[in-house]
Structure 1
C-alpha cells in the first residue's frame, strides 16, 4: 500500500490550519447578505427571530413566553378553538400547544369546555385572569409594534401588512 509523501500531507494540514486561523467577520444584521442584498426568506426569518427575542425579553417578568402570548391572543380573538385549531393558527406543533394549554389552564388563564356536538373535542376560552394577563402582555407588545413601524407612514405600514399577509395567503395553497 502506498503512503502519501509527508510533504503533501503536511501541506494539506498547514492549509487547513491556516483556514481555521483566518478570522472571518460575521456581518451584523443589516450588512451584506444580512441586509438589502440578502434573500427575502432569510431576511423575514432574521426579522422574526429579532422580534421574537425582543418579545421574550419584554414578557419575561410577566411569566409569559411568546408562544403563550400567541395562544392567548388567538383564544381571545376566536373563543372556543380546539387545541388543533390553536396549533394551526400559532404555527406551533400540537404537542407544544398541548403543553402550553395545560400550563395556562393550571394557572387559571384559560378554561376548557367540551364541544356541544363532538364530545371528544375540547374548546378553550380565556378566563377573566387570562384576559387580564393578555392585556398586560398586549400593552408591552404594542410598544414593540410601534418600534417596528418607526419610519413608516400609515400608507407604508398598510402596504407592508398587506404584503406580509399576501405572502402567507399565496404560499399556503402550495403547502
Structure 2
C-alpha cells in the first residue's frame, strides 16, 4: 500500500506549506524553520534535538563499534555497577528486549560480565570489565566533545539553567 504525498491530500487553497518547483511536492522545512523552529511545540523540538544528537553520536562512535544505546548501557553500568537488565532498561529508556540484546553483545565482546545477585539468585547483575571501562573511556572522549559543541555559546549559568530545566521536566512528567 503506497502512502499519499502531502500535496495530494491537501486542497490547493488550504495549503500552508510552500510548494517546490515541482508542483505537487511539499517542501519540508529545515530544522529551525517553521514548526521545526521556535514556533514548534516544545515536545517536538526536544525530540528533534534528541534525534540530531543521537545521529551525531552514532556517527561519532561508529568506528569504535559502539551505538548510542550501547554507550548509554555502558555509562549506566559504570555509574551504577551491579544493575539488573530491567534497571538498565529503565535508566536508558530502552525496552527490556533491546537491553537484553545489547547486554548479550557487550558480554560476548568482553565489555561487561554477569554476576548473580547475592540474595535473589534469579536476578543477574551486570558490571563493566576492564575492557568495557577502556571502551567507555574512548567513547566518553568523543561524547564530551559533542557535549561541548551542544553547550557552545552558553555561559555556565545558562547551561546550568537548561540542565535544571531538562531534569525538572523528566522528574515532573515522570510523576504524572
Normalization by structure 2: what TM-score? 0.88
Map 1:30-69 onto structure 2 (within 5 A): 30-69=32-71
Structure 1, residues 53-90: CA drift from partner, whole Å, max 9, x if none?
Answer: 00000000000000000000000000000000000000
* Runs ≥4 residues deviating over 2 A: 15-23
* CA root-mean-square deviation: 1.7
Q: 1:74 aligns with which of 70, 73, 76?
A: 76
Structure 2 gap ranges (5+): 1-6, 13-21
- Alignment match, 1:105: 107
Map 1:1-175 onto structure 2 (within 5 A): 21-174=23-176
User: Tell me, what secondary structure is at the counterpart of 1:113?
Assistant: strand
Structure 1, residues 75-112: CA drift from partner, whole Å, max 9, x if none?
Answer: 00000000000000000000000000000000000010
Determine if contact 2:37/2:45 at 8 Å carries over to the other structure: yes
- Alignment match, 1:11: none
- Give the paired residue count: 160
Rg comparison, structure with higher value: 1
Structure 1 gap ranges (5+): 1-14
Normalization by structure 1: what TM-score? 0.88
